[in-house]
């Protein structure tokens, strides 16, 4: 039987299989008012379907630790108790289905305050529920985005505290896993990369200084997150820049640091912080980056990116390139992908009693 359908235990949390759902923003929350950032019927139905479909672990989409950390005004948030309580309905259902509920916590940095992708995704200002974004340095992402405001050290410290507060609320909401979003050109990634971080203080310059903010966030989250539950980190293993960017070598070095700071799993993605780069997308195109972290560090590793076929996923695990696979768009197409894969490969995933006649 494929390892895809074998459980995996991280700290004291056992996940029934290794077919996991990648975090995917739904851009569907209220942008303002008392229910701003709170999940509602859409989010419940969306995550519930993937749980009923046998997904081992679901990472709920990038959820902002502060209002100005939302990628779009329609993002989920965990900066207040109304949001926390609204998440409980989702975690209760996922847990009842045997799916481990996880959540990705993030801050959009200089790429915050954009419109929904299906409306074009352009930066929006106060007339469309937007705001002026913040970043490590006053360097715009591209010519379409505004020049962000450089964060002061006090503001950096405040955001670290916001991550801890959101993690505390994630626990109260019933999540078993938190993932820190350090990828795709959002705030943490912006600090890591010399391409976006031009600071000359303790948070910029050397590798140690550029990783300082990320490790402060990890420490703050680890401090409030129970020792028996795992913390994940999503990284962009390369920016696909020829020079002047974060590299796969940096990722391996950083993975060792993350491990030393109590991170359990590295979710290995790429890109998102630099425009005009050429990315060789194709089936499993990011897997080699995961495989390198797996080979060279003690971390548990997740592979993601154009993993769509059962045989392909089986092979990634069989080759020892990763410990788990995360699926994004394919799970949007087929919420029961894990069940189909189990059927194809001769494995088993839990099927809800109500669906027993479909087995
Ligand atoms: C609609 C959509 C929303 C996404 N939102 C997030 C997100 O919230 N956080 C994140 O780290 N990645 C996000 N991603 C990236 C996915 O997690 C995943 O890494 C990417 O889609 C590649 O995997 P796939 O080829 O299986 O879709 C998003 C992707 C899509 C398609």
Q: Reduced to 3 states, what is the DSSP secondary structure of residue 300?
A: strand
How many domains, in total, are found in the chain?
A: 1
The dihedrals phi and psi of 5, each to the nearest 5 degrees, come to: -105, 15
* Distance from Cα 68 to the centre of ligand 1, integer Å: 21
Q: Which domain holds residue 29?
A: 3-347
Residue 139 in domain: yes
Can you give the pLDDT at residue 304?
98
Residue 356 in domain: no
Tell me the chain's radius of gyration from C-alpha atoms.
19
Can you give the pLDDT at residue 263?
99
CB distance 59 to ligand 1 below 6 Å: no
Which CATH number covers residue 336? 3.20.20.70
Burial class for 143, CB neighbours closer than 10 Å (0-12, 13-18, 19+): exposed
Residue 280 in domain: yes
Q: Reduced to 3 states, what is the DSSP secondary structure of residue 106?
A: strand
Can you give the pLDDT at residue 238?
98
Please report the sign of the dihedral spanned by the C-alpha atoms of residue 327, residue 267, residue 54, residue 39: negative
Residue 256 in domain: yes
Q: Packing angle between helix 153-172 and helix 81-96, nearest 10 degrees?
A: 40
Choose one of 19, 25, 37, 185 to mutate for the ligand 1 pocket test, by most ligand atoms within 8 angstroms of C-beta.
25
Q: Give the model confidence (pLDDT) of 64-89 as tens digits.
A: 999 999 999 999 999 999 999 999 99
Please report the sign of the dihedral spanned by the C-alpha atoms of residue 72, residue 78, residue 80, residue 82: positive
Can you give the pLDDT at residue 5?
98
**Atom 1 of ligand 1, nearest CA residue:** 24
Residues in the chain where the model's pLDDT stays below 70: none
Residue 251 in domain: yes
Q: Reduced to 3 states, what is the DSSP secondary structure of residue 292?
A: helix
* Distance from Cα 87 to the centre of ligand 1, integer Å: 20
Model-level pTM?
A: 0.98
Residue 316: how many other CB atoms lie within 10 Å: 23
Can you give the pLDDT at residue 96?
98
**Atom 18 of ligand 1, nearest CA residue:** 328
Can you give the pLDDT at residue 1?
79
Whole-angstrom distance, CA of residue 232 vs CA of residue 300: 9
Whether the Cβ atoms of residue 299 and residue 322 lie closer than 8 Å to each other: no
Residue 231 in domain: yes
User: Between the CA atoms of 60, 61, 66 and 70, what dihedral angle is there, to the nearest 10 degrees?
Assistant: -160
CB distance 104 to ligand 1 below 6 Å: yes
Can you give the pLDDT at residue 79?
98
* Distance from Cα 62 to the centre of ligand 1, integer Å: 9
């Amino acid at each position: 039987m494929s390892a895809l359908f074998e459980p995996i235990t991280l700290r004291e949390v056992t996940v029934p299989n290794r077919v996991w759902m990648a975090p995917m923003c739904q851009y569907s929350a209220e942008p303002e008012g008392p229910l701003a950032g709170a999940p509602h019927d859409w989010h419940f139905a969306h995550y519930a379907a993937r749980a009923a479909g046998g997904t081992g672990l679901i990472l709920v989409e990038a959820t902002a630790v502060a209002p100005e950390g939302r990628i779009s005004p329609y993002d989920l948030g965990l900066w207040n108790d109304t949001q926390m309580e609204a998440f409980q309905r989702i975690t209760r259902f996922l847990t009842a289905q045997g799916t481990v509920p996880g959540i990705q916590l993030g801050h959009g940095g200089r790429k915050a305050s954009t419109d929904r992708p299906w409306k074009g995704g352009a930066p929006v200002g106060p007339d469309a529920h937007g705001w002026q974004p913040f970043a490590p340095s006053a360097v715009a992402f591209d010519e379409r985005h505004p020049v962000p405001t450089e964060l002061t050290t006090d503001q950096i410290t405040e955001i670290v505290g916001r991550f801890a507060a959101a993690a505390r609320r994630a626990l109260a909401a019933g999540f078993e896993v938190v993932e820190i979003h350090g990828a795709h050109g959002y705030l943490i990634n912006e600090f890591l990369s010399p391409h976006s971080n031009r600071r000359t203080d303790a948070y910029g310059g050397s590798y140690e200084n550029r990783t300082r903010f990320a490790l402060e966030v990890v420490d703050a989250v680890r401090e409030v997150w129970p020792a028996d539950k795992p913390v994940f980190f999503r990284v962009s293993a390369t920016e696909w820049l020829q020079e002047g960017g974060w590299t796969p070598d940096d990722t391996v070095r950083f993975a060792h640091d993350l491990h030393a700071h109590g991170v359990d799993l590295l979710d290995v993605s790429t890109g998102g912080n630099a425009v005009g780069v050429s990315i060789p997308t194709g089936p499993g195109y990011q897997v080699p980056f995961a495989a390198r972290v797996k080979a060279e560090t003690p971390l548990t590793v997740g592979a993601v990116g154009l993993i769509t076929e059962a045989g392909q996923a089986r092979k990634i695990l069989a080759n020892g390139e990763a410990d788990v696979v995360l699926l994004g768009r394919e799970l949007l197409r087929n919420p029961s992908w894990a069940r189909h894969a189990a059927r194809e490969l001769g494995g088993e995933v839990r099927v809800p009693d109500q669906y027993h006649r479909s087995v």
